[in-house]
Amino acid sequence: MDVYKRSFRYDTSKREEEMDVRKGPWTEEEDSVLKAYVNIHGEGRWNSVARYSGLRRSGKSCRLRWLNYMRPEIKRGNISLEEQLLILELHSRWGNRWSKIAQHLPGRTDNEIKNYWRTRVQKQARQLKCDVNSKQFKDAMRYVWIPRLIERIRASSQSTSGPPSTITSITIESGSVQVDPSLLPELSRTSSGSQVSSVTGLTDCYNPQSVSNYQNNTRNGSGFENAAAETWGRDDVWLVGGGESSMETVWNEENIWFLQQQLHDEF
């Protein structure tokens, strides 16, 4: 990569040109300089950080490095099932508002969530040969992926007594998953004002009968949806193996092939 390539933007880039700003991966030394500076002066005023810390980096670069990598509360490691569930739900509500979504996942950055979406979710859409924004894919998420995630969250919370989730909107207690209704209004519509809605009810929303009801209530069910309703209600169809990630479990090859058939019968 050309780490010294120049930008011709007017504002900060103009200054960057003048001061020979460094680009590319950060070194440990740069990290410690940034950390020391932020510890003393606090976050914000990133151009000042760049100017006075001695780093030959742009303010933007300093900000990004701090927010996405160096903040002490940054959480590392795989996105948990609860986090996946929340990302799917919040994305269905807000779309690509990554920073807004990230606000509800403590320790996760917008960049991380964006990467997760692009690498995992969009990949599934590609495999299904449909657009990630298409109704078909959204239905697949809503009626297959999300219910399976909920099922797995419940199963894992029953089988382990590990530390509670750090996600404030979803908590797991004695085998049931509690979801903050303010974040999932669509799913909590039936909870009549209680502070949390149990996913026992949420799962019910996704059983085959409910899917069928949904179809009747919206439009005459298509072949895709009818077949999906019949298939997605059956756990054994989607559970292959045991230890893999929830996505691989749900989107095994056989089922992707099946969904592809159903999706393209529609066209």
Residue of 13, 25, 48, 53 lying closest to 37 (CA atoms): 53
Nearest distance in Å: CB 258, DNA: 19
Closer to DNA by Cβ: residue 57 or 148: 57
Q: Calculate the dihedral angle through the C-alpha atoms of 34, 35, 41, 46, rounding to the nearest 10 degrees.
A: 40
Least Å from the CB of residue 9 to DNA: 5
Q: CA of 246: how far to CAs of 12, 81, 216, 243, in Å?
A: 44, 7, 29, 9
| Cβ-based nearer residue to DNA, 119 or 218 | 119
190 near DNA (CB under 7 A): no
Between 27 and 216, CB nearer to DNA: 27
Q: What track of x and - describes contact with DNA for positions 45 through 84 (by CB under 7 A)?
A: xxxx--------xxxxx-xxx--xx---------------
Specify burial of residue 20 (Cβ count, 10 A radius: 0-12, 13-18, 19+).
exposed
Between CA 187 and CA 226, with CA 189 as vertex, the angle to 5 degrees is 55
Nearest distance, CB of residue 17 and DNA, angstroms = 11
Q: Would you give the binding string for DNA spanning residues 106-125, x where CB under 7 A is met? A: ----xxx-xxx-xxx--x--
Q: Is 219 in the site for DNA (CB under 7 A)?
A: no
Q: Shortest approach of DNA to residue 170 CB, angstroms?
A: 21
Sole window of 8-16, 195-203, 205-213, 221-229 interacting with DNA (rule: CB under 7 A)? 8-16
Helices (H), 95-176: 98-102, 110-116, 122-127, 135-140, 146-159
- Binding mask 140-169 vs DNA (x if CB under 7 A, - otherwise)? ------------------------------
Q: Does residue 215 belong to the site contacting DNA (CB under 7 A)?
A: no
Q: How far, in Å, CA of 72 to CA of 263, rounded? A: 45
As to burial, measured by CB atoms within 10 angstroms (0-12 exposed, 13-18 middle, 19+ buried), residue 126 is: exposed
H or E element, residue 130: none
Of how many residues is the chain composed? 267
Q: Is 84 exposed, middle or buried (0-12, 13-18, 19+ CB in 10 A)?
A: buried
Residue 118 or 234: the one with the smaller Cβ distance to DNA is 118
Which residues are at the interface with DNA (CB under 7 A)? 1, 3, 5, 7-13, 15, 22-26, 44-48, 57-61, 63-65, 68-69, 96-100, 110-112, 114-116, 118-120, 123
